Amino acid sequence: MDLAKKLSNPVSDLISLPIQGNLIVSKLQPIGGQPVQFFAGARYYLDKPDQGPEWGLRFGFTLLFPNG
């Protein structure tokens, strides 16, 4: 990208747009009586800065504390 274009719109090179509705899978699993939700997902970026990522991964867990 040339300098004149960057100076005319410097923010456009900083924005990443992930595809809507990332692919995510999850599972609810009790561990020692404590319910835990595990999840993993992937995303693909439709538009990105010149040095931005093409795809990404996400992993995590959530501890659940039900009432009652």
**Could you write out the three-class secondary structure of the chain?**
CCHHHHHHCCCHHHCCEECCCCEEEEEEEEECCEEEEEEEEEEEEEECCCCCCCEEEEEEEEECCCCC
Question: What percent of the chain lies above the pLDDT cut of 90?
Answer: 41
Domain that holds residue 23: 19-68
pLDDT of residue 18: 59
Does any domain span residue 4? no
State how many domains the chain has: 1
Q: Around Cβ 34, how many Cβ atoms within 10 Å?
A: 10
The pTM of the whole model exceeds 0.85: no
Does any domain span residue 33? yes
pLDDT of residue 16: 63
Low pLDDT (below 50) residues in the chain: none
pLDDT of residue 43: 87
